[in-house]
């Protein structure tokens, strides 16, 4: 690559894995930003060269080109390239398949209809895609794929300039016809062609703009925002699965507020997650309440701060959606207050309905909607007057979601009143301490009756059936109310219940 400080080219020594050299096409920013990007990219390419160059030589011997492309090049320049490598080639899918078979440790053809062959080599997950373009017609949810013959045709049809860079292998030629490196250094998202044409080709790119803003903390160019706003309704033709995946990646980004705000401001959220902009409730001087929309975004950020083991989609979705029942339950009281009675119950149902439409997995829907339903439960705790029975029920109702419920409840405090915030924090500290104490004493994590189903059938001399279920539920209520019982006491309680049942019959 030309020296960033003057026009004198570097000595033209042959590029090798030990001495990678970029021969760059297109303009770049001079100065320290470019130097840092160069150094990062060189280091990352050195790391992947043994695999990338080996694969490139296979394609070269077969008369084909191969280039590292898109997000892989972008992440290399940012110093964050992982184990997933994306390549593009002039070889057609069946030719790619024949070239990677026998070289890769595993090969899959899931994306072959779209020109993509996936494989694994050592620790690297690799995708090789034929030069292509994707376009939607006005009614189709699936892209129409056509193949190209030169890499420039492929790059111009990519979503953003920072993803329209390539490194031709094995010679290490840096290809940047749309000045992606300039935009990378400026941390801005632009499209290679007009944004209108790009979003017409694939409307999901509008979601990707918001996702990359959240993941990379990039700004979105004004003309791109304008096109997103004008074309927001076009997202309707994209399948729910593809939309869901982009939304999840956005929410799991480092700065989801930035991406979510962009979705709301451009109108995309009206089509993808309409419950979010609906939180911007009209306010007036007579009926004051907190800004539910801003509150929800703040709760999301505070929940992220409490994550222990990386991004947690269940917790983040619950934090974002916990108050979506408020618009439907808002009531203006006579004393000037605003109430949202049972908004947690309504919100849980709304959460489930929206996630079903987005085709999230059943278990994920169940967990997120349950957290939304439970997020107000703590506020009945007051200053610690809950009985042990109430604490046991809190733990039992949360089940495996207890730790997430702790985080969600703590995150839900966004008051600027420090005295109130500290009081809530101390109260929850107290609840957690009581839970820990009871867990140590009673094994709360596995609350169950003191007699299991087999013991119930033996003691009552009844076969499997509804009676056993009702007896089990009765014993569980006793366990929650009074704590563990000795076996003799449990047997006596069961027989007493059974006698009452027979007397009623």
pLDDT digits (tens, 9 = 90+) for 205-237: 999 999 999 999 999 999 999 999 999 999 999
Going by C-alpha positions, the residue among 439, 55, 58, 318 that lies closest to residue 68 is: 55
* Cα(392)–Cα(388) distance, integer angstroms: 6
Mean pLDDT of 96-110: 94
* Cα(14)–Cα(339) distance, integer angstroms: 73
* Cα(161)–Cα(180) distance, integer angstroms: 4
* Cα(297)–Cα(71) distance, integer angstroms: 28
pLDDT band per the 50, 70, 90 thresholds, residue 287? very low
> In the chain, helix, strand, coil percent, each to 5?
55, 10, 35
Mean pLDDT of 479-486: 72
Question: Which carries the bigger pLDDT value, residue 69 or residue 443?
Answer: 69
Q: Residues 211, 259: contact at Cβ < 8 Å?
A: yes
**In the predicted structure, residue 464 carries a pLDDT above the cut 80:** yes
Residue 422: CB atoms within 10 Å: 11
**In the predicted structure, residue 370 carries a pLDDT above the cut 60:** yes
Q: Please name the residues in contact with 116: beta carbons below 8 A apart, sequence gap of 6 or more.
A: 93, 127, 128, 129, 130
pLDDT band per the 50, 70, 90 thresholds, residue 455? confident
Q: SS in 3 state form for 71-119?
A: HHHHHHHHCCCCCEEEEEECCCHHHHHHHHCCCCCEEECCCHHHCEEEE
Burial (0-12, 13-18, 19+ Cβ within 10 Å), 2: middle
Mean pLDDT of 277-283: 78
Query: Tokens at residue 361, please?
Result: 């997995």
Q: How far is CA 15 from CA 18, 34, 44, 118, 175, in A?
A: 8, 20, 15, 28, 16
pLDDT digits (tens, 9 = 90+) for 181-192: 999 989 999 999
* Least confident segment among 23-27, 78-82, 152-156, 334-338: 23-27
Mean pLDDT of 259-275: 97
* Least confident segment among 187-191, 354-358, 390-394: 390-394
**In the predicted structure, residue 121 carries a pLDDT above the cut 80:** yes
User: Domain 187-273 class?
Assistant: mainly alpha
Query: 487: helix, coil or strand?
Result: helix
Mean pLDDT of 15-26: 39
Compute the chain's Rg from CA coordinates: 29
* Cα(42)–Cα(279) distance, integer angstroms: 47
Reply yes or no: is the peptide bond before residue 170 cis, omega within 30 of 0: yes
Query: Tokens at residue 106, please?
Result: 């595993």
**Per-residue confidence (pLDDT) for residue 459, from 0 to 100:** 81
Q: What architecture is the 1-185 domain classified under in CATH?
A: 2-Layer Sandwich (3.30)
**Per-residue confidence (pLDDT) for residue 322, from 0 to 100:** 95
pLDDT band per the 50, 70, 90 thresholds, residue 203? very high
Place of tokens 């021969």: 23
Tell me the pairing of strands 106-108 and 331-332.
unpaired
How many residues are recorded in the chain?
Answer: 505
Query: Which sign does the torsion angle of CA 172, 178, 179, 185 carry?
Result: negative
The segment with the largest mean pLDDT, out of 68-82, 219-233, 447-461, 477-491, is 219-233
pLDDT band per the 50, 70, 90 thresholds, residue 129? very high
* Cα(79)–Cα(36) distance, integer angstroms: 9
Going by C-alpha positions, the residue among 429, 485, 495, 415 that lies closest to residue 462 is: 495
pLDDT band per the 50, 70, 90 thresholds, residue 157? confident
pLDDT band per the 50, 70, 90 thresholds, residue 343? very high
Mean pLDDT of 401-408: 93
Query: What are the residue boundaries of the structural domains of the chain, listed by start?
Result: 1-185, 187-273, 280-446, 453-504
**In the predicted structure, residue 20 carries a pLDDT above the cut 70:** no
* Cα(326)–Cα(291) distance, integer angstroms: 11
pLDDT digits (tens, 9 = 90+) for 421-442: 887 888 888 888 888 877 766 5
pLDDT band per the 50, 70, 90 thresholds, residue 384? low
Query: Tokens at residue 288, please?
Result: 């004051």
């Amino acid at each position: 690559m030309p020296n960033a400080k003057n026009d004198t080219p570097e000595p033209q020594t042959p590029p090798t894995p030990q001495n990678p050299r970029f021969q760059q096409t297109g303009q770049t920013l001079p100065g320290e930003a470019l130097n840092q990007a160069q150094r990062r990219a060189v280091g990352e390419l050195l790391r992947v060269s043994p695999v990338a160059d080996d694969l490139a030589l296979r394609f070269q011997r077969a008369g084909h080109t191969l280039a590292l492309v898109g997000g892989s090049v972008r992440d290399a320049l940012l110093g964050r390239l992982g184990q997933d490598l994306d390549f593009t080639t002039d070889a057609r899918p069946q030719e790619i398949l024949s070239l990677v078979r026998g070289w890769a440790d595993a090969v899959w053809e899931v994306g072959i209809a779209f020109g993509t062959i996936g494989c694994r080599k050592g620790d690297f997950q690799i995708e090789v895609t034929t030069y292509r373009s994707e376009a939607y017609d006005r009614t189709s949810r699936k892209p129409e794929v056509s193949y190209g013959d030169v890499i420039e045709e492929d790059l111009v049809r990519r979503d953003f300039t920072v993803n329209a860079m390539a490194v031709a292998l094995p010679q290490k030629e840096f290809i940047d016809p749309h000045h992606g490196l300039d935009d990378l250094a400026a941390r801005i998202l632009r499209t290679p062609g007009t944004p209108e044409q790009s979003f017409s080709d694939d409307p999901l790119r509008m979601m990707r703009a918001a996702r990359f803003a959240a993941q990379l903390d990039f700004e979105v160019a004004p003309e791109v925002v304008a096109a997103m706003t004008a074309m927001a309704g076009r997202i309707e033709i994209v399948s729910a699965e593809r939309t869901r995946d982009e939304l999840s990646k956005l929410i799991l980004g480092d700065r989801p507020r930035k991406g979510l705000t962009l979705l709301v401001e451009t109108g995309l959220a009206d089509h993808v997650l309409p419950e979010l902009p609906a939180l911007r409730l009209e306010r007036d001087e007579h009926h004051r309440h907190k800004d539910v929309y801003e509150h929800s975004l703040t709760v999301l950020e505070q929940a992220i701060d409490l994550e222990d083991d990386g991004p947690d989609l269940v917790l983040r979705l619950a934090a974002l959606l916990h108050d979506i029942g408020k618009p439907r339950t808002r009531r203006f009281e006579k004393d000037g207050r605003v109430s949202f009675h049972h908004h947690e119950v309504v919100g849980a149902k709304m959460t489930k309905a929206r996630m079903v439409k987005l085709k999230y997995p059943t278990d994920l829907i169940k967990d997120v909607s349950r957290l939304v339903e439970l997020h107000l439960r703590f506020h009945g705790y007051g200053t610690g007057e809950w009985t042990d029975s109430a604490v046991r029920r809190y733990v039992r109702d949360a089940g495996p979601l207890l730790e997430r419920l702790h985080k969600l409840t703590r995150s839900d405090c966004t008051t600027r009143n420090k005295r109130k915030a500290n009081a809530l924090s101390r109260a929850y500290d107290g609840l957690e301490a009581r839970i820990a104490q009871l867990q140590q004493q009673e094994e709360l994590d596995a609350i169950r009756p003191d007699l299991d189903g087999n013991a119930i059938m033996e003691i009552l001399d009844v076969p499997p059936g509804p009676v056993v279920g009702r007896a089990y539920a009765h014993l569980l209520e006793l366990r929650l109310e009074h704590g563990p019982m000795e076996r003799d006491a449990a047997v006596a309680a069961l027989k007493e219940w059974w006698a009452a049942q027979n007397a009623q019959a």
